Structure 1
Amino acid sequence: MFTGIISELGTLTVIEPEPSRDAARLTIHAPASTVDLPIGGSISVNGTCLTATSIDDGTVVVDAIGETLRRTALRALRPGAPVNLERCVPASGRFDGHLVQGHVDGTGTISRIEIHGDWRQVRIALPPGLGRYVAEKGSIALDGVSLTVTAVNEPTSASADGPDDWCEVGLIPATLSATTLGTRVVGDLVNIEVDVLAKYAARRDDYDRAAEEVAAR
């Protein structure tokens, strides 16, 4: 379990596609995040929960299977790319962000960036199906960064959960300097994890709606 508070900017040094396994192996330079990280321990890489399979001299190796590569923007990374890193939060730790599982729901595209002095307003085009889980002043994780949603589009019967769904977040100077979001440009992909509570609430609504339809037959 994570909080969306990035502890280190690591560097992807090697990415080895393994087509026969439908997977890829990533080597990340992460001197701070590898301290006391055990083999088999969890680490969030751009918001994706991955398992450390090898650790040596400040680097960590993780495997990304096909499902992970298809669902996240890790597939677009190249050697030399900075990555947001977070270790899983200890039970006795302080919860500064929000509940983040490291289970990426999909990728969004940065569609607009407005610069306001030293902070930025960023709009993310959401993939179909995720708009229903995003609410103004709710929480969202973008590339593993815990953020507050500042605006969402108003759904209509024609566009609900459609390709035109979007949300906006505000990025303060600390976020811009401490995470990869400070270097993102229009057109970039970002990993999205919506609030887990919103997913369960929507799932319950689906069941209730289905039960009402069955009862009405």
Structure 2
Amino acid sequence: MFTGIIEEIGTMKRIDRQGQAMVLTIGARRVLEDVKLGDSIAVNGVCLTVIAFDSAGFSVDVMPETFRRTTLERLSIGSQVNLERAMAANGRFGGHIVQGHVDATGRIASRRPEENAVVFRIEPGDPGLLKYVIPHGSITIDGISLTVVESGETHFTVSIIPHTLAETVLQHKKAGDEVNLEADVLGKYIERLLGFGGGPGGAGAAGRGGSTGKLTASMLAEHGFL
């Protein structure tokens, strides 16, 4: 699990491709401080497993499913990427719950200054993602935990403060560029629970005191949300 607080910007040093599989070698410093084989590091919001490392960087495998669902396939030598180590059990929760499981890619439709901030308008490649995007809720863009300003039928916007812009790859992003998107996991779990209607007991569970499939306080409490 991650928090969406970027620790450093890494640089792509080597890309080995075989079909839709890749091994990425990324130059980094801070995320190497306590790295071990098998550790998870989010690369532009994608949870990847460290398979090798040295004092100057680390390598990760990218499987075909990840290749198809993220922007990693468009990286090249010299590309800069956001990096975050998995959250330590005693760490501070600075952002929100980020799994590193990209739901869809999106396109930056525009970026514009607004006093001390920069407002990005994002159009998801899969418009179905927008049902999880609510004003003042959380969204992950290229691994960065951000707050949604406004959500429409085809887009949403986020406002980036100077510090976040300076410390992440968003500083280099422009209109037309693609980004990785991960919606808040709570909305996805609630939708999944509601989709089962009667819960573990099936359609007849409601008649035996089980869930009716409607979003009620008792239903949320039954499944641990309250």
Distance, in Å, in 1 between the alignment partners of 2:72 and 2:144 is: 15
Q: 1:108 and 2:106 equivalent?
A: yes
Name the aligned partner's letter for residue 133 of structure 2: V
For structure 2, the 5+ residue unaligned runs are 205-226
Distance, in Å, in 2 between the alignment partners of 1:211 and 1:118 is: 53
Q: CA deviation at 1:57?
A: 1.9
Which residue of structure 2 lines up, in the alignment, with residue 64 of structure 1?
Answer: 62
TM-score w.r.t. length of structure 2: 0.85
Name the aligned partner's letter for residue 65 of structure 2: E
Q: 1:167 and 2:165 equivalent?
A: no
Q: Runs of 4 or more off by more than 6 Å in structure 1?
A: none
Which stretch of the first structure deviates more once superposed, 5-14 or 115-124?
115-124
Distance, in Å, in 2 between the alignment partners of 1:128 and 1:40 is: 34
Name the aligned partner's letter for residue 8 of structure 2: E
Which stretch of the first structure deviates more once superposed, 116-125 or 190-199?
116-125
Q: CA deviation at 1:206?
A: 2.7
Distance, in Å, in 2 between the alignment partners of 1:11 and 1:64 is: 16
Name the aligned partner's letter for residue 189 of structure 1: E
Q: Is the 8 A contact 1:11 1:30 kept in 2?
A: yes
Which of 183, 188, 201 is the equivalent residue of 1:194?
A: 183
Q: Is the 8 A contact 1:133 1:202 kept in 2?
A: no
Q: CA deviation at 1:171?
A: 0.5
CA-atom RMSD, angstroms? 1.7
Q: CA deviation at 1:117?
A: 3.3
Q: 1:178 and 2:167 equivalent?
A: yes
The number of residue pairs the alignment matches comes to 201
The 5-angstrom pairing of residues 32-47 of structure 1 reads: 32-47=30-45
Greater radius of gyration (CA): 2
Which residue of structure 2 lines up, in the alignment, with residue 6 of structure 1?
Answer: 6
Larger relative contact order (C-alpha < 8 A, sep ≥ 6)?
A: 1
TM-score w.r.t. length of structure 1: 0.88
Distance, in Å, in 2 between the alignment partners of 1:129 and 1:204 is: 18
Distance, in Å, in 2 between the alignment partners of 1:204 and 1:170 is: 32
Which residue of structure 1 lines up, in the alignment, with residue 221 of structure 2?
Answer: none
Deviations 1:7-43 (A, max 9, x none): 0101011111112xx3101000011111110011100
